[in-house]
Structure 1
Amino acid sequence: MYSMKKNNKYNKSTYKLPMTGGVKKGFRAYACAVLALAVMMSFAVPAFAASDDPIQVVNNLSDFIFGLIRAIGLILLGFGIVQVGLSLKSHDPSQRANGFMTLAGGVIITFAKEILNLITGA
């Protein structure tokens, strides 16, 4: 076990490394160039517009949102599997019930679009 003495070899003080003026200016120029490039690239995002059909725009947005919902459902599905596995190892019935509920919720959220299509008949 390590002792907390002042002369302990693990209790060293830290200090800044010396940097000359030219190196500082070069680093500042490099950091500014990287930041400017990152800002320019973030503003240069192409916007793909749909054709004259506004329904296509709504369908694209719906597909995007359901894709996000599906990703959240898959995360919940994986977490439910882990929870059920841990509950089987620890023999905890309440944790097992929570794991199966999370698992079922993850399945329902993952297939929410298909369930809604079945309900609406689309």
Structure 2
Amino acid sequence: MKLFNKESKKNKETRSLPMSKKGKSALTVYSALVLMLCCCTTTAFAASDPLTVINNLSDFIFGLIRAIGMILLGFGVVQIGLSLKSHDPSQRANGFLTLAGGVVITFAKEILTLITG
């Protein structure tokens, strides 16, 4: 059984889809705007102190980690609430573990500064 007929592909014609003059001009303007916004970039100057750059990057990464921890905190609270409603002890244990993990992840920066001094 042949799924693809190679001869029929060779004989097919390709033609462009019809587009009105108004559509062509709108596409041209849109393309020009996208190219101007993407290609016209500004120069980014580095800070004079390299430690400032490292500290800014560290703050950004710990901000992302804090956001993930907050999501886990919320998910843990929802799990605990659902387990209390359904009287499921294993789901309750998972909820408390998720809640505790969310607290640790949320306060990871503070915990690390306490450990390192």
Cα distance in 1 for residues equivalent to 2:114 and 2:80: 29
Aligned equivalent of 2:85, options 82, 89, 92: 89
Unaligned runs of 5+ residues in structure 1 are 1-18
- Residue 13 (structure 2) aligns with: none
% identity of equivalent residues: 67
Q: What are the residue-to-residue correspondences of 1:76-115 with 2, within 5 Å?
A: 76-115=72-111
Whole-Å Cα distance in 1 between the matches of residues 39 and 82 of structure 2? 47
Identify which of 58, 62, 73 aligns with 1:66: 62
**Unmatched tracts of structure 2, length 5 or more:** 1-17
SS at match of 1:49: coil
TM-score, normalised to structure 2, is 0.72
CA shift for structure 1 position 48: 5.3
1:86 CA displacement: 1.4
2:22 is the counterpart of 1:23: yes
- Deviation by residue 1:16-36 (Cα, 9 ceiling, x = unmatched): xxx862232133124313422
Matched, 1:119 2:110: no
SS of alignment partner, residue 109 of structure 2: helix
The number of residues matched between the two structures is 100
**Residue in 2 aligned with 1:33?**
32
Shift in CA distance, 103/33, structure 1 to aligned 2, threshold 3 Å: same
Shift of 1:91: 1.4
Q: 1:32 to 1:119 in 2, by over 3 A?
A: same
- TM-score w.r.t. the length of structure 1 is 0.69
Question: Do the aligned partners of residues 39 and 79 (structure 1) sit closer, same or farther apart at CA in structure 2, a change above 3 Å counting?
Answer: same
Q: Letter of the aligned partner of 2:20 in structure 1?
A: G
